[in-house]
Amino acid sequence: MTTHRRSKGDRAQGTLPQALYDELIDLIKAHGREANRSNKIVSHETGDVRREMLLLSFRELHGLGYRLQSAQSLQQRHVRALVRSWEESGLSPSSIANRLSVLRALCKWIGKKGMIQKSTDFVQKPESVTRTQATTEDKSWTAKGIEIDRLIGMIETYDWRVGLQARLMRTFGLRKREAVMFRPLKADMGFAIRVRDGTKGGRERVVPVETPEQRQLLDLAKSKVSTVNEHLSNPNYTLEQAVRRVNYCFERYGITKRDLGVTAHGLRHEHLNELYERVTGVPSPVRTGSVTHDLDQLTHDIARARVSQEAGHSRLGISDAYIGARPADQRTPEEKEADRRYRELLTKEDLSDSESAELGRLVKAMHARTQRPHRDSALASDTETEHSTSAHEPHAHHESETQHA
């Protein structure tokens, strides 16, 4: 039987019959950019991901002993076998859910819509596909102690185009591909920019120009092009080459998880967390949970809506992936009053000696409060260790003998 061979990586997953490979490619060409739940068109990038995931899934099925000769033969038992393999491999809930989404799309294309309903129906453990939306880590660059302007300035001296694209990511919250494809003369609406090229899922959005820094950067970007349709990337590059150039420049200056602990996407997190603070007047939940307790729910939700909108998402809950979730208020009445007084003192321009001393005491108290869960946890751990040691001391010699035996 003829098989399709492409690379060593593919052969590691097993090869596919030529007819099955051709069938999958034809399905991708015909339906790969159709959204699952609407009549919208997904991005080319999503189409490419679907292609790779489908080929990978069917190769894995063959490796598991299910040698399907046609996509039409796919059944629920095959999906369960794949998911079981993914769970055992330790794939994240997000990865498993994404792969199931691609298989769900395939079922729709081959006339088996509804074969894959809830993701939890195909897993051994429901938590395997339960995604945690809210981030618990501030992924912005400043959270890692990075001087953003200085680092981007270094990039600019090497490649001004990439440096300018980095500033657009930081100042307007653009994704990498959006910054690469940004056409400043066409995007500038005066009061806002229109983000259209390179967006995720082809969803356009409008980002307000609210600060002098935003206007200054936009005018600078406009000065670098001469026609309405000109973008900021090297005109001699293809789109993929331009994206690779950004990746190369960022890696050159250590902007990776491995080196500085950040990625290009961290600039987007930077902008959206600053946006939340600009709207509410207090830091985002992921930056300091306690300060948002007294913030009224309406103001919090308005800020979340702004974050979601500027990020290019329609769901309010997606904002939590950038700014974190608002924690439950577990403060005592005395702690609430101390926080209120702290904010009151911060708003005053001139503090008396007694007020300065009071502010210092409040800061120390707040710091001690934030450290309290760690101390309690450590104390509990020490106590458990102590009890465990005491309980086993009489049998220590016996355990040693058993181990040697």
Structure confidence at residue 3 as a pLDDT band (50, 70, 90): very low
pLDDT tops 90 at residue 386: no
**Which range, of 21-25, 40-44, 266-270, 374-378, averages the lowest pLDDT?**
374-378
* pLDDT of 362 higher than 70: yes
Q: How far apart, in whole angstroms, are the C-alpha atoms of residue 34 and residue 55? A: 18
Q: Is the pLDDT of residue 297 over 50?
A: yes
Q: Where are the domains of the chain?
A: 3-129, 142-267, 335-385
Q: For the residues 311-335, what does the mean pLDDT come to? A: 79
pLDDT of residue 377: 43
Structure letter (DSSP) for residue 312: T
pLDDT of residue 391: 41
pLDDT of residue 166: 97
Alpha-helical regions (H) of 125-197? 148-158, 160-172, 176-180, 184-187
Instruction: Give the pLDDT of residue 130.
Output: 63
**Coil, helix or strand for 14?**
coil
pLDDT recorded at residue 331: 67
Report the distance separating Cα 242 and Cα 177, nearest Å: 9
**Which carries the bigger pLDDT value, residue 327 or residue 181?**
181
Residue 120 — very low, low, confident or very high, per pLDDT cuts 50/70/90? confident
- The domain made up of 3-129 has a fold known as DNA polymerase; domain 1 (1.10.150)
Instruction: Give the gyration radius of the chain's Cα atoms.
Output: 27
- The token duo for 185 is 């003369």
Q: Is 207 exposed, middle or buried (0-12, 13-18, 19+ CB in 10 A)?
A: buried
Residues 68, 110: Cα–Cα separation, whole Å: 14
- pLDDT at position 87 is 85
Q: Kindly give the residue spans of alpha helices, DSSP state H, lying in 32-137.
A: 44-63, 76-88, 93-109
pTM: 0.62
pLDDT at 122: 79
Residues 71, 24: contact at Cβ < 8 Å?
A: yes
Determine the pLDDT at residue 132: 60
Percent of the chain with pLDDT over 70: 82
Report how far residue 185's alpha carbon sits from residue 189's, in angstroms, rounded to the nearest whole number: 9
pLDDT in tens, 19-63: 999 999 999 999 988 887 767 777 777 888 899 999 999 999 999
Residue of 401 and 134 predicted with greater confidence: 134
Check residue 294 and give its pLDDT. Answer: 67
Handedness of CA 94, 100, 102, 105 (dihedral sign): negative
pLDDT tens-digit profile of 224-254?
999 999 999 999 999 989 999 999 999 999 9
Q: Write down the pLDDT at residue 136.
A: 80
Residue 175 has pLDDT above 50, yes or no: yes
Q: Using one digit for the tens of pLDDT, what is the confidence trace for 156-169? A: 999 999 999 999 99
Burial code (b: 16+ CB inside 10 Å, e: under 16) for 237-276 equals eeeeebbebbbebbeebebeeeebbbbbebbbbbbbbbbb
